[in-house]
Amino acid sequence: MTESERAGDQASTENTGDAPAVDTPPKRKSAFGDPDASLLEQMGGVRGLVYSSIPILTFVPVNGFWGLTVAIWAALGVAVAMLMWSLLRRENPQPAISGFIGVAIGVLIAWRTGDAKGYFLYGIITQAVYGGAFALSALVRWPLVGVIWGLIDGRGMAWRRNPPARRWYAIATWIWAGLFAIRAVLQYALYLNDEVNWLGAARIAMGWPLALVAFAATIWAVRRAMAHENEPAAARDASDE
Alpha carbon separation from 202 to 58, 135, 161, 185 (Å, rounded): 15, 23, 40, 11
| End-of-domain residue from the set 87, 114, 141 | 114
| Same structural domain, 124 and 179 | yes
Among 25-29, 47-51, 175-179, top mean pLDDT goes to 175-179
| Same structural domain, 126 and 67 | no
| Same structural domain, 126 and 106 | no
The Cα 41–Cα 28 span in angstroms is 17
Residue 94's pLDDT is what?
A: 77
Report which of residues 236 and 168 the model is more confident about. Answer: 168
The Cα 159–Cα 229 span in angstroms is 7
Residue 27 falls within a domain, yes or no? no
| Same structural domain, 214 and 154 | yes
Work out the pLDDT band at 22, boundaries 50, 70, 90.
very low
| Same structural domain, 146 and 122 | yes
| Same structural domain, 108 and 49 | yes
Residue 153's pLDDT is what?
A: 81
The phi, psi pair for 142, rounded to 5°, reads: -125, 60
Work out the pLDDT band at 16, boundaries 50, 70, 90.
very low
The Cα 45–Cα 92 span in angstroms is 11
Work out the pLDDT band at 222, boundaries 50, 70, 90.
very high
Side-chain-facing half-sphere of 6: CA atoms under 13 Å: 3
| Same structural domain, 90 and 160 | no
pLDDT per position as a tens digit, 48-81: 677 778 999 999 999 999 999 999 999 999 999 9
Work out the pLDDT band at 44, boundaries 50, 70, 90.
low
**pLDDT greater than 70 at residue 47:** no
| Same structural domain, 101 and 181 | no
Report which of residues 149 and 11 the model is more confident about. Answer: 149
Residue 3's pLDDT is what?
A: 53
| Same structural domain, 224 and 130 | yes
| Same structural domain, 120 and 96 | no
Q: Work out the angle between the directed axes of helices 144-153 and 208-230 (0-180°, nearest 10).
A: 70
Residue 35 falls within a domain, yes or no? no
Give how many domains the chain has, as a whole number: 2
| Same structural domain, 60 and 80 | yes
Residue 85 falls within a domain, yes or no? yes
Residue 20 falls within a domain, yes or no? no
- Domain of 176, in residue numbers: 116-241
pLDDT per position as a tens digit, 111-170: 999 999 999 999 999 999 999 999 999 999 999 999 999 888 888 898 999 999 999 999
Residue 153 falls within a domain, yes or no? yes
Three-state DSSP state, 139? helix
- Residues 50-59 as b/e (b if ≥16 CB within 10 A, e otherwise) read ebbbbbbebb
Work out the pLDDT band at 32, boundaries 50, 70, 90.
very low
Stated pTM of the model? 0.75
| End-of-domain residue from the set 95, 114, 133 | 114
Report which of residues 234 and 109 the model is more confident about. Answer: 109
Rg (CA), the chain: 26
**pLDDT greater than 50 at residue 39:** no
| Same structural domain, 134 and 102 | no
Alpha carbon separation from 47 to 43, 50, 76, 111, 193 (Å, rounded): 10, 5, 18, 28, 32
